[in-house]
Amino acid sequence: MYYAITGIDTPDSLAKRLESRPAHLARLHALQAEGRLLLAGPFPAIDSPDPGPAGFSGSLIVAEFDSLGAATEWAEADPYKLAGVYARVEVRPFKKVLPA
């Protein structure tokens, strides 16, 4: 089943985000290589695809896991969570409807 993982950034966490990004992306690339990643990306803090120093307000990852517990465990071990980029992480079941 798919799970939506939403990370909400702590204020002024852009430097931590940039420092932790390679490790964060490596985990996402691993999910992608396994065919489990549906989508992933950050929420710009301003209405711009490149927010510059304004940074980001969080991230969304939708990926396939065996259970809610497995998805939660994966999310809690994310480098952004461990580095203090995310103030909190929410994991919810997600049912993909479209595109088919």
pLDDT per residue over 44-98, tens digit each? 999 999 999 999 999 999 999 999 999 999 999 999 999 999 999 999 999 999 9
Tokens of 99: 């595109």
100 pLDDT exceeds 90? Answer: no
Q: Write the burial class of residue 64 (CB in 10 Å: 0-12 exposed, 13-18 middle, 19+ buried).
A: middle
Please give the model's pTM, rounded to 2 decimal places: 0.95
- Closest among 63, 51, 62 to 13, alpha carbons compared: 51
Residue with token string 């909190």: 88
> Widest CA span of the chain, in angstroms?
38
- At 10, list the tokens: 């702590």
pLDDT at residue 39 tops 90: yes
Question: Mean pLDDT throughout 31-56?
Answer: 97
Classify residue 80 as exposed, middle or buried by CB count within 10 Å of its CB (0-12, 13-18, 19+).
buried
The one-character DSSP state at 74 is H
Contacts with 50 (C-beta within 8 Å, 6 or more apart), sequence order? 44
Domain definitions of the chain by residue range: 2-47+55-94
Is the pLDDT at 15 greater than 90, yes or no?
A: yes
Classify domain 2-47+55-94 at the CATH topology level. Alpha-Beta Plaits (3.30.70)
